[in-house]
Amino acid sequence: APTGPGTDHATDDPFTADRTNWFRQDRFGMFIHFGAYSNLEGEYKKADGSVCRDAEWIQRQCDIPKAEYEKQAATFNPADFDAKAVVKAAKDAGMRYIVITSKHHEGYAMWPTKVNDWNLRDHSSFDKKRDILAELKKASDDAGIKLGFYYSIWDWHDPDFPDPATFPKYEKRMRAQLKELVDNYDPALLWFDGEWDTDKPNNPWTAKDGEKLEAYLRDLDPDLVINNRVGKRRVVDGDYGTPEQEIPGAPVDGQLWESCMTLNGHWGFARYDTNWKSSSTLVRNLLSTTSRSGNYLLNVGPDARGRVPQPSVDRLKQMGDWLRTSGQGEAVFGARYGGLVEEPSWGSVSRKGDKLYAAVTQWPASGAALHLKARTDFRVTSARVLGSDQKVTVTKSGDGIDVKPSGAATNDTATVIELKVDPGPTARPGKG
Ligand code: H79
């Protein structure tokens, strides 16, 4: 149902609202961290000749003077940013949505905002005719992928932030920028950040400010999906929770959620960081996230020229290959926590309608069974291994069922056993 100012979640439940329908099904998205920091590629040479390293936090972590930071941003020229290639990398991974940083803590807008000059058109060496958000919107629409924007409330550049006396002036500009984003690019989602309290500087954002901003945005576009960092990360703030660099150990109670994670150790491009996660780890993360009803937002950080690093592209492609193999993507898209069984130590179990998908990461020794502890009564009517014609025997055993496949695992990442069940009610996370 459409929402408006003053609407609260008691009457407008993100678990059932129309606007979150795609978000609850799509499960897998691409985060893109791209900003003026990308131009430094993770390294800043200090006056004393030493090299200081960090990614999107480099301005703070390396104490770069404002004038110096502005000077380097003026040389930013991401001429090789190719929206079609970015969208293709997302598609190849099986991703269904993209969230790109429109403005990170540095305050630099990645679109030609009219609010100030601190943006990719007015303060760069980039082609003045180009607009990468517009390019990404077009490419996403063409590919049937949803596009959303990250926007940092915390702003290191704006002169009126965070002084409480001048903060309202900043807030007015923030609202104007957000209106530009909504009016010009029609995003499906807004991903806020930088709402927390910190003494360097002191962030003045309050829960009340968040409620007012959320109402303002829902008035601009009732279909927006909004994360909880618009406010103070309470269950009532926005539509969903945002665990960062972690997958919560149990279904999150009472809240939709999305776990955001890096592919290596940084969000923004860092040329020294080659600590890439394996595609096997990433697929398993996606599977356990889905089995707990969460989404997985996996990050890429384009370099100074705007290119997505090849190790990222490779891993995304490998994830997509797994998802496309033998219908294994069924365990993810449109699937969720099922409420019927406890999470096993040997993998994860998601549910879609009357099917359970047991993704087995530790395949049993020949002749051995996988045990599933039941949380409620259900009956298995048939079982098979995706991508294999081996037999699967299911028997009642102790506090649940034993599932015994007759053959080998189909792959090393996860082998999916599909169990057709006589369906009980689908439980909400944490309420099963
Ligand atoms: O955009 C990404 C991060 O930049 C942002 N949220 C994600 C999505 C974020 N901002 N702050 N934090 C996360 C938490 C603070 C982390 C810090 Fe640090 C630890 C700041 C200083 C020490 C990480 C490590 C950033 C710089 C060094």
Q: What residue spans define the domains of the chain?
A: 18-331, 347-422
Residue 426 has a pLDDT of: 60
Report which ligand 1 atom has the smallest distance to the Cα of 56: 4
Ligand 1 midpoint to CA 338 (Å): 33
Residue 251 has a pLDDT of: 66
Question: What's the residue count for the chain?
Answer: 432
Query: Distance between CA atoms of 385 and 407, rounded to whole angstroms?
Result: 9
Candidate from 60, 152, 192, 193 with most ligand 1 atoms within 8 A of CB, to mutate: 193
Report which ligand 1 atom has the smallest distance to the Cα of 104: 1
Q: What is the dihedral of CA 131, 137, 143, 149, to 10 degrees?
A: 120
Ligand 1 midpoint to CA 244 (Å): 10
Which are the contacts of 356, defined by CB distance < 8 A and separation ≥ 6? 338, 340, 341, 349, 350, 418, 419, 421
Q: Is 158 in the pocket of ligand 1 (CB under 6 A)?
A: no
Query: Distance between CA atoms of 314 and 271, rounded to whole angstroms?
Result: 17
Which are the contacts of 4, defined by CB distance < 8 A and separation ≥ 6? 215, 218, 219, 222
Residue 429 has a pLDDT of: 54
Atom 26 in ligand 1: residue holding the nearest Cα: 57
Q: What is the CATH number of domain 347-422?
A: 2.60.40
Ligand 1 midpoint to CA 57 (Å): 7
Architecture of domain 18-331: Alpha-Beta Barrel (3.20)
Report which ligand 1 atom has the smallest distance to the Cα of 101: 1
Ligand 1 midpoint to CA 189 (Å): 21
Give the β-pairing of 379-385 and 415-422.
antiparallel
Ligand 1 midpoint to CA 193 (Å): 10
Candidate from 56, 57, 60, 61 with most ligand 1 atoms within 8 A of CB, to mutate: 57
Residue 71 has a pLDDT of: 98
Ligand 1 midpoint to CA 361 (Å): 31
Atom 2 in ligand 1: residue holding the nearest Cα: 267
Ligand 1 midpoint to CA 369 (Å): 44
Contact of 366 with 412, CB cutoff 8 Å: no
CB atoms within 10 A of CB 234: 13
User: Could you tell me the pTM of the whole model?
Assistant: 0.96
Report which ligand 1 atom has the smallest distance to the Cα of 152: 1
CA-wise closest residue to 123 among 106, 148, 135, 146: 106
Q: What is the pLDDT along the chain (432 residues), one digit of tens a residue?
A: 334 444 444 448 899 999 999 999 999 999 999 999 999 999 999 999 999 999 999 999 999 999 999 999 999 999 999 999 999 999 999 999 999 999 999 999 999 999 999 999 999 999 999 999 999 999 999 999 999 999 999 999 999 999 999 999 999 999 999 999 999 999 999 999 999 988 778 899 999 999 999 999 999 999 999 999 999 999 999 999 999 999 998 766 679 999 999 999 999 999 999 999 999 999 999 999 999 999 999 999 999 999 999 999 999 999 999 999 999 999 999 999 999 999 999 999 999 999 999 999 999 999 999 999 999 999 999 999 999 999 999 999 999 999 999 999 999 999 999 999 997 656 555 433
Residue 427 has a pLDDT of: 57
Residue 197 has a pLDDT of: 86
- Mapped onto helix, strand or coil, the DSSP state of residue 188 is coil
Q: Is 58 in the pocket of ligand 1 (CB under 6 A)?
A: no
Q: Which residues of 287-310 are buried (b: 16+ CB within 10 A; e: fewer)?
A: bbbbbbbbbbbbbbbbbbebbbbe
Query: Distance between CA atoms of 235 and 343, rounded to whole angstroms?
Result: 24
Give the β-pairing of 43-45 and 28-32.
unpaired
